[in-house]
Amino acid sequence: MCDPQHLHGSTKNVSTNIERIITDMMTYEQARQYLTTHGQAHLLQFYNELSPEQQNQLLQQIAKLDLDRPQFRDRNALTQKRGKFAPLGAMTLDKISRNLEAYRKIGIKAIQNAQIGAVLLAGGQGSRLGFNHPKGMFNMGKTRDLYIFECLFYNLMQVTEQAKTYVPLMIMTSEQNDAETKAFLKEHHYFGYNPDSVYFFKQETEPAVDENGKIFLEEKDSIVLSPNGNGGWFSSMQRTGMLRLVEKMGIEWINVFAVDNVLQQIADPVFIGATIASGCASGGKVVRKASPDERVGVLCLEDGKPSIVEYYEMTEEMRTLRNDDGTLAYRFGVILNYLFRVKDLMHTLDSAFPLHIAHKKIPHIDTNGNKVFPTEPNGYKFETLVLDMVHMQDSCLAFEVDREKEFAPVKNAQGVDSVATAQALLEKNGIVL
């Protein structure tokens, strides 16, 4: 936040609302000085063309910027220093199958005791898919409508029908897609799920910058703000009051999952049961890597704690290292489906998350005020990631799932992890499209 000394106006004898507006604001001169000092004065380029309301809006956005943070000073300083990696074994499919019923029982009991909540991370922009709506609204059907959200609700209801109770489903949206997501789900009657068990909370935003570190303008009176990554879900739950509700409901474990894997099991009782029985503080669903070069993050150990090493961080030696039985040592890729124990998440609220840089296509206006829709990545977004939360846990059970049955991500319009590959897997699993 900017220095409070820069803030404008007396707040005495005014209503709380007005107080809030005034303390959120800067004068033009304060904003100009602040931006000039930080090399971002271009944000005021169109100021004189704006109406007084638009000028206020822009000044309010500028007052919220904290330009002393590293991403605006030296992007390269964000590079994360990693520790010493070592492989981490997983609870493999055969071991799970031997204890399936015991784990399922534990998981179902936890669901029935209202100890389990689910968090759907749906705040992303899905820019690779190129679909101009919340990704969950994408229609996977060929001969009928089958939306991504519908697939997820269908999968969750496979569990709630077994448990004969609903699991609280908390959906994280972003400023950009909140209204559309809510309206869509309401219009489709939550695909048969109990509306009273569905909650929404919004994540925060971060300014996006061009390749020279200049913050983009979205319009003449507003800067480009994008969702701040999926790592902030727990702190957003706290900020929005969702966490208080979680505590009130007595939820002890939260299953966090991505919007785009149409086959994944949610609140999977076997996964829950196995994690609880293991005594681990968290669990992560993993799939066996298809090849040493597959581009997935791998669950491993870093300085003795669970961690995820991204494919581009792995050395050739790590990628090809093999166990005595010939299997890859780093062979369990994460699929963004985790189980966290709420009490072990509390300390993450005070922890600094590494900031990741994402090179993306960012629509904006140029110096002539014209809209630009880039076809190639043209700037950077800054994100915290849920995978960094795993490293903040003392332990994590790597729980193997069959990728043919549980891993059908819809990331790209074409090619790998695309609509077509996910459709093929849905059909393989007997879903009529």
Can you tell me the distance from the alpha carbon of 92 to that of 89, in angstroms, rounded to the nearest whole number? 8
Q: Does 297 engage in binding with ligand UTP (CB under 6 A)?
A: no
**107, 168, 227, 333: which one contacts ligand UTP (CB under 6 A)?**
227
Structure tokens at 102: 């015991």
Q: Does 388 engage in binding with ligand UTP (CB under 6 A)?
A: no
Stretch that binds ligand UTP, among 59-67, 69-77, 83-91, 121-129 (CB under 6 A): 121-129
Based on CB atoms, which residue is closest to ligand UTP, 160 or 173? 173
Can you tell me the distance from the alpha carbon of 302 to that of 288, in angstroms, rounded to the nearest whole number? 20
Q: Does 260 engage in binding with ligand UTP (CB under 6 A)?
A: yes
Based on CB atoms, which residue is closest to ligand UTP, 217 or 410? 410
DSSP structure class, residue 82: P
Nearest residue to ligand UTP, by Cβ distance, number only: 124
Binding string, residues 125-164; x marks residues near ligand UTP by CB under 6 A? xxxx------------------------------------
Structure tokens at 281: 């503080």
Q: Does 337 engage in binding with ligand UTP (CB under 6 A)?
A: no
Q: Does 203 engage in binding with ligand UTP (CB under 6 A)?
A: yes
Q: Where does residue 80 fall: left (phi above 0), alpha (psi -120 to 50 degrees), or beta otherwise?
A: beta
Q: How far is the CB of 382 from ligand UTP (least distance, A)?
A: 10
Can you tell me the distance from the alpha carbon of 41 to that of 211, in angstroms, rounded to the nearest whole number? 16
Q: Count residues near ligand UTP (CB under 6 A).
A: 20
**62, 111, 117, 123: which one contacts ligand UTP (CB under 6 A)?**
123
What are the angstrom distances between the C-alpha of 353 and each of 120, 291, 383?
20, 30, 9
Alpha helices in 223-293 (DSSP H): 233-240, 242-249, 269-278
Q: How far is the CB of 207 from ligand UTP (least distance, A)?
A: 13
Can you tell me the distance from the alpha carbon of 171 to that of 173, in angstroms, rounded to the nearest whole number? 6
Identity at 368, one-letter amino acid code:
N
Q: Does 124 engage in binding with ligand UTP (CB under 6 A)?
A: yes
Q: Does 254 engage in binding with ligand UTP (CB under 6 A)?
A: no
**170, 258, 287, 419: which one contacts ligand UTP (CB under 6 A)?**
258
Specify the DSSP element, H or E, that contains 380.
strand 379-383
Query: Could you tell me which residues are beta bridge partners of residue 286?
Result: 334, 400
Residues 367-386 that bind ligand UTP (CB under 6 A): 383
Based on CB atoms, which residue is closest to ligand UTP, 135 or 391? 135
Structure tokens at 336: 């963004």
- Closest listed residue to residue 234, CA positions, set 372, 343, 155: 343
Residues that bind ligand UTP (CB under 6 A): 121-128, 172, 203, 227-230, 258-260, 336, 383, 411
